[in-house]
Every structure is written in C-alpha cells, then in structure tokens.
Amino acid sequence: MIKLLFLPLLAPLALVAQNKDRHTLAGTVKDRSSGETMIGATVVLMERPVTGTVTNSYGFYSITAPSGTYHVLISFSGYATDTVEVDLHKDTTLSVSLAVGQELKEVVVRGGRSNTNITQSLMGVQKLSTADIKNIPVLFGEKDILKTIQLLPGIESAGDGNSGFFVRGGAADQNLILLDEATVYNPSHLLGFFSTFNSDAIKDVTVYKGEMPAQYGGRLSSVLDVKMNDGNDQRYGVSGGIGLIASHLNFEGPIKKHKGSFLVTARRTYADLFLKLSTDTTLKKSTLYFYDLNLKADYSFSDRDKIYLSGYLGQDKLGVSGQFGIDWGNSTATFRWNHIFSNRLFSNTSLIYSNYKYNIAINSNDDNITIASRIVDLHLKEDLQYSLGTDSKLNFGIDVIHHEPSPGIINTNAASSYNPVSLQKKYSLESAAYISHDWTPLPGWKLTYGLRGSLFQVFGPGKFYTYDSAGDVIHTDSASSGQIVKSYFNLEPRFSTSFQIGDNSSIKAAYARNVQYLHLLSNATSSTPTDLWIPSSPNVKPEISDQVSLGYYHNLLDNRYEFSAEVYYKALQNQIDYKNGAQLQANENVEADLLYGPGRAYGLELYAKKKEGKLTGWVSATFSKSQVKIPGVNNDTWFNSREDEPVNLSVVGTYKASRKWSFSANWVYNTGYPVTWPSGKYEVNGQPVYLYTTRNGNRMPAYHRLDLGATVITHKTQHSESSWTFSIYNAYDRWNAYIITFKQDPNNANQTLATQTALFGIIPSITYNFKF
Amino acid sequence: MKPLLAFFALAFVLSACQKTVHLNLGTTSPQLVITGAVTDQPGPYTVTMSTSEDFYSNNPYPSVSGAQVIIADTYLRQADTLTETSPGTYQTHTLTGVSGHNYALLVNYNGKSYTAQSTMPAPVELQDISFYSQSFGKNTDIQPIPNFQDPPGIGNDYQFVLYVNGKQLPKTFVFSDRLSDGRFIHETLNTDTSDLKPFDQLRIDMYCIDPNVYNYFYEVTQITDPGQQAGNAAPGNPTSNIYGGALGIFSAHTVSSSQTDVPKM
C-alpha cells in the first residue's frame, strides 16, 4: 500500500530527464513603492498561456520552459500589470516591481484579472488581503481578520462579537493559527472580543478549510496562515489610528535602502480609562486592557539570501485591584532564512519560538494565591520548492516541534485555604516529513498530491496513569527523563485536482487526512484564557479526520464575478467530550474525566463575489451538519455538536461613492447553536434541580445582525492620508442571546425561570486614521 | 478560588443585558425522586419521595405515598422500617447515626426496588462564621465564610446549608479538600446580593459528606448556580448514588452548626 502511494511521487522525477533544452526563469515580485514582496502574484508566459505560476509566500516564482523568446506578464489584484520581454536561452533571473493601479479607473488588461480560483487545484481555500477587510464594519470599529473570515462560507462565529471560529463543524482548537509560521495558541484578547491580530501589521491571510497542502499539519479543521507585513525598504513612514477603545501606531522604514527594512506596530486598548471615570468603587479599581506589539525586520545579503526576523508580543490584563487579577498573552519569534540554491530550488529555513502563558493572582480573606501556566514550543522547519518545469513543481520538507506545556503551578501563602501544587510538565516531540507535487498533466487539468508522515512522541519524566471506567487510577508508570512513553505514527495523504471546462469554469475534487496531537479542553460556553491544552498520551489518542470534497467554480464577465459551490463530508475519530462534573482545573487526573467518540460533518457552501466596480462584496451561504457519538451520552446515538449551525448566511457590500466617501454594510444570519436545556425539575433539599433529557437537544434563538460603516478621506497626497471611519455594530439593535440560564423565581418558590443574557445592543464607534 | 467565576462575572457586569424569556422546553414524564439522610444528630431521620415535573409547572412537587422504605446500619446489622408521617415523608424509629458506619437505603415502590449506600465520615467542627463584603454600585454583597480546620488526608468533603432568620436558603454549597488538605479553611460561600442583609440571623450547618455525595452536590451546583451554568456547556443530570433508576441522593453525614448575626459592613 505504502509503495503504491510513493509511486506517483516518483513520477515527476522522470520528467527532469527530459528537461535538457529547457531553462528556468525565476525572481521576486515586489511592490514598487514599499519594496514589500508580493504573495500570490501571477506570472504567465504569454506564448504559453496555460502555464502560469504564482509567487510563493516570499514573493519568489520559478518557471521552466523550452528555449525561446517570451513575453512575461506579471499581475496582482489592485496593481498595474507589467509585461517584460525575456530571451530564455539560459537560466535567467527576472525580478519585477509593480506599481499600485489607479483607483476607481477601470484598468482593463485582457487576461490581467486573476482567475486562479478556477485554475488552481487546491479547493476550500479563502484568501483575504488587508484591502479586503479595510472597509468592513466591526465591533468597536476595530478591524479584525478573525471576524472578517467568519463572513466566508464554511466558517462560523463562536459567539457574539467573538473572534473564535469553527470551520466546517470543527471545534475552535482544530484550527491551526499561524503568525509568520509560529503557532498562536490563544488568538483572542479580552474574552474573545478582539483577535490578537492587529490588522495594521497583517499583509495576507489564507484559510485552508481542511484540504491543506502537505506542508501544514497538526490540526483537523483548518489552517489560518497569517503573514505579517514587511517594512518599507525605501522610505520611512508613520501611520496609525485613534479609536474609541483602542489606538494603534505603525512605524516602518529602510534599514538599508532596497536591502532591508523594519516595521514596528503597536496597539493598546484603554477601556479601563472609562472605568476610572465610574463612580462605582469596584469598577474604579478595575483593570481591563490589552496591548500588542508586532516587530519585523528583513535584510537581503545577496540576490540569493534573505533573512527575516519577526516577533509578536501580546498581553491582556484584567482584574480588580487588590482582589483578583489575570494576565495572559502569546509571544512568538520567527527567524527565517530564504536561500535560492538555483533558479529551480528555493529553500526556507525557519526557527520558531512560541509561548502562551497565563497568570492568576487572588487576594481575598487572607488568601494570597498565584497560578501560573504556560505552553512553550520550539520549532524547526525546512521547506524546499523545486521547479521541475512550467507545469510541475515539488514541495518537500521536514518539521520538528518540541512541546512543553506546564499546566499549572499554584503558590499559596501559609494562611491560605489552599496548598501549593505543581502539576506535572508534559514533554513531547511532534515531527513530520512531507512531499507534495503540483502538476499539470494536460492543459486544463491540474493536480496536487502529496503525503505527510507525522510522528508524535510522548517523553518522560513524569507519571503516567491508567484509569478504570469509573476514572480511578488502577496503575501508575513512572518514566525517566527522555524516556519515550508512547509513540504515534500517522500517514496523512493529501490530494486535490481541478478540471477546467472552457475558459470560465472548473470542477475540483479533493481528499485529505489530518491528524491532531494537541487538544484544548474546555467545557465552558465560550473560550477562556485558562482553557487547558493537553498533548496526546497513552490515554488520549490523536484525533483523526478524513475529508472529501467536490466543487464547481464559475467566473462571469471576464472574471469580474466569481461563483463557487463546494460540498464536503468529513469523518472524525477520537473526538473528546467530558464526563458529568469533569474537573478541568488543577487536576492531575484530568484524563480520567474525558470521553471519546467519532464525529461526522457535511455541508454545502455557496459563494458569489463581485470583485470590481463601485460596488464590491460577496454573498455566502452555508448549509451544514456536525454531529458526534459519545459513549454514555444520549443512549450512544449521534447527536448535534456545539458547532452544528445548519444555516449560515452573510452578505457583505462596499460602495465607493466618490474619491472621498465609501460606504459598507454586512448582514449575518445563523441558526442558533445546540444547547442542553432542562425539560423538567425536581426538588432536592429544598432546592429545585433541573432535569435534563437530551444532550444538545435544544437550540439557541437564531442570530442575526446588520453592521454599517462609512469612511471619508479628508486629506490625501502621494505619501500622506487621513480619514475618519464611522461604524455601527448591530444597527437594528437586536439583543442576540449570548447565554440562557435558569433559576428559581425569587418571588415564587414553585416557579422556575429562564433568563436570557445578551452582550451587545447597537454600538456606534468612530476611528481617526492617519498616514505620513 | 474560582477565578473563572469572577471572570464571567466581570464580563457580564461590563455590558450584559438580561431579560426573562419563555422557552419551548417540552414536557417530561414524571420521574421518581428520593432524598434521604442519616446524621450523627439524634433522629428521627427522614426520607422524602416525590416526582419531577415540567420546568414551567407552577405546582408544588407531587409527593409519592405508599412506598416501603427501610434504612439499615450495615455495621450493626440493624434495620429500621420507616413510617410515612405525611404524604411523601417517611421517618425512622430506632436508628441512631454513628460516624464511620455504613447505611443502606432500600425503597420498594410500584413493584420496583431502589437501593443506595452511604458511609458517614468522621466529624469536623465548624469553628465560627466570618463575613466578606464587596460593593458593586449601590449594592453591597455580603458573603459568609465558614472557618474550620481540615484534618490531614485528602478525601474530606463538606456541604453547607444556610438558614437565614430560620429559613433555609435554597442553594447548594460544597467544598472538597482536593487542593486544601490539612489547611485551615476560610472559603467564601457565593451567596447572592439579596440573600444576606445586615442584622439577619445566619446559621450554617456544615456536613461532612462521603465522596459520592460530594460529587452529586458538586454537579448540582454546576447546573443550578447561574454563574456556573454560564461556564458549563454540557449540563447533565447529577450522578446519583441511588441504584434502580431514581433521581436524588442518600447521604449519611455529620452536622456541625454555628450561628451569628450578619454585621453591618
């Protein structure tokens, strides 16, 4: 079986032999004014129009073609298309800088408009640039990529105003969230109302909804690959924004002109300044803010070597002075080295550090308690791209991550009600090797297929417990430092293909297996900073998903309109649920409180987008189902999971009324998520206790909301600009249910009541943005 | 030590809006509920039988009469058949609760049998009650703190029943020494703003309960306390120690009481 899988992987190598009279054209595509490398720019040889390529994450492209003279067409959405004549009689380097296209003017370059959504073999991919999210109105006027992607098909919001999201019925922890390749374990600030991604610092966002290329792994549902901006390598610039709740500032410039640049982006919220104005003594003493800092520097030593250093530091603080405080945050650092071995072979080596931590301090009635928890990753990654020809490219590499979660160290004072405790640290190594081949066997038929082999090793030192069905420890193994306690090896095949029908349509099919070795434990209704990440272990098996999907893509009016329809079916293994009364906090035996079962999810995703003109935007509709089967729950039958929202609609529109004014609106609707409500009640010791019959047998009320926005540019020159953005979140003031709780009627002991809590009514906001 | 609770509380204070809603919760067939206790205080001890009703029912819980109810001290091998003194209330005659003894409950009703067992733990004395106050706007929250010494060895579990001016507060409070073994415990009980006012007379009965009873009441707090409901995505019926398919709990526990007046804070 394994031999058969490798056979197609070797086929392209045979093609190399035929490449004698072929030469390679390679180079980098950049923005002319800032020197920023451009991801996903299209490079096509006009004389061989079927064989184009796109630049990789570092702006690099490589095309191999027979000897000859070619016209090379380089294009990128929003930029003026460039054409260069090249004599390809030897391997040639061609680096191009594109200038920003004239706004509002319809630049019509035949073939310049991208139709990669049709031609590329990958499916279930959504790409957003900063320009896409700029005009979409959001909560508190704070632009947010994690909220904008929730408007795309197949991606659901985890709650009102929440940056958490579910992809194709998968839980929030099944999304791999990468910032310049570093894993971000908690992508939210302030209880999830803001994401950790400051949109000023973001260049490009790609979401893979399950069928990710083989270089990604470790999560079941999706990969959210966020790339930070590079600095401007030609001139210094300052930009920023002042909003009601947060302000941000961005400073960038050359380290050495055309050689290197730096970028510093900072953001700070000041909700707590308003608390200080409160007359309430407790609120006055409260702290509530976050800040984040993005840093990036790059430097080219030669045409062949470039290094990047990027860093992120985010911190939330929340608390009441002298009583309670919690702070949490991610920090990541990525060092990357791009090396071009030859025009055909591109290499990137990454060394990545990622740290997520939280600290809690409690001071009340003689208790002084601190709780510290963190998860530290060290990650080495080598990715290679080898161009075999115009229509054939090989990606391969290795990936090694050392995980070291420290679930909790609790310190207490002598007078405290609690003992100090140190929960065991957990050590594991997650390694992978992958190979993937992009191939165009025939004009109009593209193929990406690959294989990822992943190995997860659980190491000592530590105690490893075996539990009986009641959750009591029946056996304890002690492992010494470095001893391998358990290994899991999985082969993850990935396959996707597209068949083009005429110029404007294509059909695609894909299959992918994904394996997840880290799991987030949370039985709360929304994510909290104290949710616990646990590695797979002898008790906790890796989660596995197999997803198949099929899609139809159609573009209209010279690619001005895009339409797509995708269906998917996903089978899941070893999904995690919790026993009644599961104790997830400070519990060495937390694994005894877990239950495991299979899951399944399927759905239809429709998407229509208008890409050009005064009015742009999209309509997205998702019809889906997501279920699990957990032993002992609902008589061992399939039931709807928390992520099951059968209907999900969004409409997003931006209207550019003039050079100064633009308006935007978005409307969302989704079925309420499944919840477990009591159907009856009974009395125990004078108190009503609720009687439950079916897990997730009820649904929250449907959610819908309209947001409006307007932007006016008050000043604009070549390098400077200032504008005001007005937005109204929840314009028709619908108090969407956030949670529903149950209690005894304080006025009638025989009566019980249901209480609905809503978080946000209508919220207007205003932001001032500047750039010079 | 409930950081999560404080966390949710703060979130709600910030911007929440609450209203009572009427949900379509359907109907359920009535299920049998048995609650019973044996304590180290003089008897008689009581077993109560009733049935569940629909969530929106406005009636008193229907009592269940005509059952045969027996409590046995399995250590002394003595059984006491209870007498129904009022509808649904059954009382012992001769039984005396002793710490360390195991008690078995047998109920025969409508051709079905229900059994439960509970062992009465060693007693721990409730030393006294102090108070903690916190103000939010015009409201001042006064919360009681039971003070007591936890004996060495993990596995001591406690339940607190509060009486305000002689009337039982319909709330469940439990504490486990899982993270507090051997400590002097002074843990705040999370009462609501309206529960305690200055000059109220407060009595706390502290029970030492067995681990199964603790788990039962811990799960009860997870589904009944509105703050904990907010943090519990998958509520379920608490794990009962009664076999045979009835809801409820049978607990053999010790009782230590303390009484004081709520101060003005």
CA distance B100 to chain A (A): 23
User: How far off is chain A from B195, nearest CA to CA, in Å?
Assistant: 10
For residue A661, name the pLDDT band (cuts at 50, 70, 90).
very high
Bridge partners of residue A397, in order along the sequence: A383, A434
CB contact under 8 A, A690 and B55: yes
Contacts of A698 in chain B (CB under 8 A): 23, 25
pLDDT digits (tens, 9 = 90+) for B189-246: 988 878 888 999 999 999 999 999 999 999 999 899 877 887 777 888 999 999 999 9
Q: What is the pLDDT of residue A595?
A: 92
Nearest chain A residue to B132 by CA distance is: A365
Q: Which of A283, A530, A682 sits opposite B3 (nearest CB)?
A: A530
Average of per-residue pLDDT across A604-616: 91
Nearest to A528 among B7, B136, B181 (CB): B7
Q: Do B249 and A688 touch (CB under 8 A)?
A: no
| Amino acid symbol at A504 | N
DSSP of B161-226, one letter per residue?
EEEETTEE-S--EEEEGGGTTTPEEEPPP---TTT--TT-EEEEEEEEE-HHHHHHHHHHHHHHSH
Neighbours of B132 (CB within 10 A): 16
Considering only the beta carbons, identify the residue of A366, A410, A754 that sits closest to B23: A754
Say whether A360 and B3 touch across the interface (CB within 8 A): yes
- Interface touch A418/B50, C-beta < 8 Å: no
- Tell whether the model's pLDDT for residue A18 goes beyond 60: no
Query: Which tokens hold the place of A211?
Result: 């069928």
Q: Give the pLDDT confidence of A153-181 residue by residue, as tens digits.
A: 999 988 877 788 999 999 999 999 999 99
List pLDDT tens digits, range A631-657.
Answer: 989 999 999 999 999 999 999 999 989
Q: How far apart are CA A44 and CA A21, in angstroms?
A: 20
Structure tokens at A68: 């000859």
Residue A674 · residue A641 · CB < 8 Å: yes
Q: Is the pLDDT of residue A113 over 70?
A: no
Beta-carbon contacts of A75 under 8 Å, excluding residues fewer than 6 positions away, are A41, A42, A44, A81, A82, A98, A109, A112, A113, A114
pLDDT-based confidence at residue A12 (cuts at 50, 70, 90): very low
Lowest mean pLDDT among A230-239, A600-609, B35-44: A230-239
CA–CA gap between residue A621 and residue A624 (Å, rounded)? 10
Closest partner residue to B172 (CB to CB) among A416, A580, A687 is: A687
- Closest residue in B to A700 (Cα) is B23
The strand pairing partners of A766, in sequence order, are A726
Ranges assigned E (strand) in A345-461:
345-364, 367-389, 392-412, 421-422, 427-442, 445-459
Least confident window among A64-68, A262-266, A334-338, A672-676: A64-68
Q: Which residue, among A691, A695, A759, A763, would best test binding to B if mutated, counting the most B CBs under 10 Å from its CB?
A: A691
| Listed residue (A546, A565, A570, A550) closest to A510, CA to CA | A550
Give the per-residue pLDDT at A278: 66
Q: pLDDT at position A82, please? A: 83
Decide the pairing of beta strands A222-228 and A175-179.
Answer: parallel
Cβ count near B182 (within 10 Å):
14
Mean pLDDT score of chain A, rounded to an integer?
A: 87
pLDDT at B209: 97
Residue A696 CB neighbours (<10 A): 21
Higher pLDDT, A137 or A698: A698
Question: If DSSP codes are grouped into helix, strand and coil, which group holds residue B14?
Answer: helix
Q: Which of A682, A729, A763 to mutate to test the interface with B (most CBs of B within 10 A)?
A: A682
At B211 the pLDDT is 94
Give the 3-state secondary structure of residue A143. coil
Q: How far apart are CA A572 and CA A170, in angstroms?
A: 9
Q: Please state, for a pLDDT cut of 70, what percent of chain A lies above it.
A: 94
Say whether B20 and A753 touch across the interface (CB within 8 A): yes
pLDDT of residue A525: 67
Listed residue (A578, A690, A689) closest to A632, CA to CA: A578
Three-state DSSP class for A667? Answer: strand
Distance from CA of B118 to the nearest CA of A (A): 17
Q: Which of A395-399, A412-416, A584-588 has the lowest mean pLDDT?
A: A584-588
- pLDDT computed for residue B138 by the predictor: 67
Among A354-363, A586-595, B6-15, the range scoring the smallest mean pLDDT is B6-15
A689 min Cα distance to partner chain B (Å): 6
Q: Which residues contact A443 (CB under 8 A, 6 or more apart)?
A: A50
Closest CA to A34 of A298, A293, A254: A254
| Region of poorest pLDDT, from A280-289, A462-471, A518-527 | A280-289
* Residue A483, CA distances (Å) to A54, A563, B88 in order: 45, 53, 61
Chain A interface disruption, residue of B5, B12, B13, B14, most A CBs within 10 A: B14
User: In chain B, which residue's Cα lies nearest the Cα of A634?
Assistant: B236
Does A362 contact B170 at a Cβ distance shorter than 8 Å? no
Percent of chain A with pLDDT over 90: 47
Dist. CA A73–CA A111, nearest whole Å: 9
Name the most confidently modeled range: A11-20, A498-507, A620-629: A620-629
Closest residue of chain A to B11, computed from CA coordinates: A191
Query: Is the confidence at residue A100, as pLDDT, over 80?
Result: no
Chain B partners within 8 Å of A415 (Cβ): 184
Q: Which residues pair with B128 in a beta bridge?
A: B147
Spell out the per-residue pLDDT of chain B, length 265, in tens.
444 444 444 444 444 688 888 998 888 899 999 999 999 999 899 999 999 999 999 888 999 999 999 999 998 999 999 999 999 999 999 999 999 999 999 999 999 999 999 999 999 999 999 998 877 666 778 899 999 999 999 999 999 999 999 999 999 999 999 999 999 999 999 888 788 889 999 999 999 999 999 999 999 998 998 778 877 778 889 999 999 999 999 999 999 999 999 998 7
Report the pLDDT value the prediction gives residue B7, as an integer from 0 to 100. 45
Q: Is A112 helix (H, G, I), strand (E, B) or coil?
A: coil
Q: Average pLDDT, stretch A376-393?
A: 90
What pLDDT, on a 0 to 100 scale, did the predictor assign at position A281?
A: 67
For A530-547, what is the mean pLDDT?
93
Cα–Cα distance for residue pair A673/A624, rounded to 1 Å: 12
Q: Which of A524, A693, A735 sits opposite B233 (nearest CB)?
A: A524
Let me know: does A225 contact A206? Beta carbons within 8 Å.
yes
**3-state SS string for B127-155:** EEEEEEEEEECCEEEEEEEEEEECCCCCC
**Is-contact A389 A17, C-beta < 8 A?**
no
Chain B nearest-CA residue for A577: B234
| Global ipTM | 0.92
The residue assigned the tokens 């109220």 is B200
**A131: alpha, beta or left? (left if phi > 0; alpha if psi -120 to 50):** alpha
Cβ-based neighbour number of residue A305 at 10 Å: 12
pLDDT of residue A19: 52
Q: How far apart are CA A281 and CA A359, in angstroms?
A: 24
A228-232, A329-333, B138-142: which is most confident: A329-333
User: A528 vs B233: CB contact, 8 Å cut-off?
Assistant: no
Q: CA of B211, closest CA in chain A: separation in Å? A: 13
| Distance in Å, alpha carbon of B47 to nearest chain A alpha carbon | 11
Are the beta carbons of B11 and A530 separated by less than 8 Å?
no
Residues of A in contact with B191 (CB under 8 A): none
Q: What contacts A34, CB < 8 A, 6 or more positions away? A: A230, A231, A232, A233, A234
Q: Is residue A592 over pLDDT 50?
A: yes
Give the CA angle between residues B167, B171, B175 to the nearest 5°. Answer: 120
Closest residue by Cα to residue A416 from A359, A360, A365, A361: A365
In sequence order, the β-bridge partners of residue A650 are A620, A668
| pLDDT average, residue stretch A417-444 | 92
CA distance B136 to chain A (A): 6
What pLDDT band is residue A381 in, cutting at 50, 70 and 90? Answer: very high
Q: What pLDDT is stored for residue A604 in this prediction? A: 97
pLDDT confidence of residue A282: 67
Q: Which helix (H) or strand (E) segment is B84 a member of?
A: strand B83-86
Dist. CA A178–CA A224, nearest whole Å: 6
Tokens 């040639």 map to which residue?
A92
**φ and ψ at B262, to 5 degrees?**
-70, 125
* Chain B: closest CA distance from residue A524 (Å): 4
- Of the candidates A633, A644, A627, A618, the one whose C-alpha atom is nearest the C-alpha of residue A135 is A618
- What distance in Å separates the CA atoms of residue B161 and residue A176, rounded to the nearest whole number? 47
Grouping H, G, I as helix, E, B as strand and the rest as coil, residue B96 is: coil
Interchain proximity B53–A283, CB inside 8 Å = no
pLDDT per residue as tens digits for the range A434-457: 999 998 888 889 999 999 999 999
Q: Which two tokens stand for residue A374?
A: 């963190």
The two structure tokens encoding residue A371: 């709780």
* Strands B68-73, A687-691: pairing kind: unpaired
Contact between chains at B23 and A698 (C-beta distance less than 8 A): yes
* Cβ distance of B21 and A755 shorter than 8 Å: yes
- Res. A112: pLDDT tops 90: no
Contact A367 B1 (CB under 8 A): yes
Contacts of B10 in chain A (CB under 8 A): 286, 288, 318, 320
Q: What is the pTM of this model?
A: 0.88
Mean pLDDT in residue range A273-290 = 73
Cβ distance of B19 and A756 shorter than 8 Å: yes
